[in-house]
C-alpha cells in the first residue's frame, strides 16, 4: 500500500514539473535581442571546430575565415572569403573554387540567419556549467532543419560554444587585434 502511495506521489510531482519545464523552453525574444546586440559590434574571434577532425582558425567580419585542419596527421590550411576558398598546398595558396554556404552553423552564420529570419526563435534552455562557469543556453533551428544548441556568457551574451550535428564549435578572443585573414596572393 505504501509503495502505491509513493508511486502516486512521484507521478503527481512529475506531472506538476512538466508544465514548468515546457514553459521554460518557449521562444525568448529578449534573449534573441541581447545575443544579436552582443554580436553587432563584433569584428573578429577565434574558433575551434571539434568533430571527426579538429580545426582552429579565425573569423573576421564580414565573411572571412582562415582555418587549419589536422587531417591524417598533416595540417591543411584553408581561407574562405565570401563564398570563394583557397587551400595551401605545396608551399603556395591555390584557389579551390566556391562554397555553397558560408559556414552557416558558425555563430556568424547563426547571427546572419537569425537577422534574415526573424520568425525563427531562440529557445532558452536550462543554464549549464562550461569550464567551471555557469553559462546560459539556447537552441536555434535553421530553416533547413539543422538544430544548434549554444552556450553564452550570462553577462556579455557572447556565445562561447555551439553544438550542431556532430560538431562542437568553441569561440574565444573576441575582437583581438591579432585576428586577421588576408586574401591569398
pLDDT, tens digit, 9 for 90 and up, residues 117-132 = 888 899 999 999 998 9
pLDDT, tens digit, 9 for 90 and up, residues 36-87 = 999 998 999 999 999 988 999 999 999 899 999 988 888 999 999 988 999 9
Domain count, the chain: 1
Tell me whether residue 15 is in a domain.
Answer: no
**Containing structural domain, residue 79:** 27-172
Q: Name the region of 108 (left: φ>0; alpha: ψ -120 to 50; beta: rest).
A: alpha
The dihedrals phi and psi of 110, each to the nearest 5 degrees, come to -60, -45
Tell me whether residue 1 is in a domain.
Answer: no
Question: What are 56's strand-pairing partners?
Answer: 48, 68
pTM assigned to the model = 0.80
CATH of the domain at 97: 2.50.20.20
Strand 133-141, strand 74-81: pairing: unpaired
Tell me whether residue 182 is in a domain.
Answer: no
The dihedrals phi and psi of 146, each to the nearest 5 degrees, come to -65, 130
Amino acid at each position: 500500500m505504501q509503495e502505491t502511495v509513493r508511486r502516486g506521489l512521484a507521478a503527481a510531482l512529475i506531472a506538476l514539473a512538466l508544465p514548468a519545464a515546457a514553459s521554460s523552453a518557449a521562444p525568448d525574444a529578449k534573449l534573441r535581442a541581447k545575443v544579436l546586440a552582443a554580436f553587432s559590434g563584433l569584428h573578429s574571434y577565434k574558433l575551434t571546430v571539434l568533430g571527426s577532425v579538429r580545426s582552429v582558425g579565425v573569423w573576421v567580419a564580414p565573411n572571412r575565415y582562415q582555418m587549419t585542419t589536422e587531417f591524417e596527421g598533416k595540417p591543411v590550411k584553408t581561407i574562405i572569403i565570401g563564398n570563394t576558398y583557397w587551400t595551401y598546398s605545396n608551399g603556395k595558396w591555390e584557389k579551390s573554387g566556391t562554397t555553397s554556404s558560408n559556414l552557416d552553423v558558425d555563430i556568424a552564420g547563426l547571427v546572419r540567419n537569425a537577422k534574415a529570419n526573424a520568425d525563427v526563435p531562440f529557445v532558452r534552455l536550462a543554464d549549464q556549467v562550461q569550464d567551471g562557469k555557469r553559462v546560459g543556453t539556447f537552441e536555434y533551428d535553421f530553416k533547413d532543419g539543422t538544430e544548434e544548441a549554444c552556450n553564452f556568457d550570462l553577462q556579455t551574451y557572447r556565445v562561447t560554444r555551439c553544438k550542431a550535428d556532430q560538431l562542437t564549435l568553441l569561440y574565444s578572443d573576441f575582437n583581438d587585434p591579432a585576428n586577421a585573414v588576408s586574401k591569398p596572393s
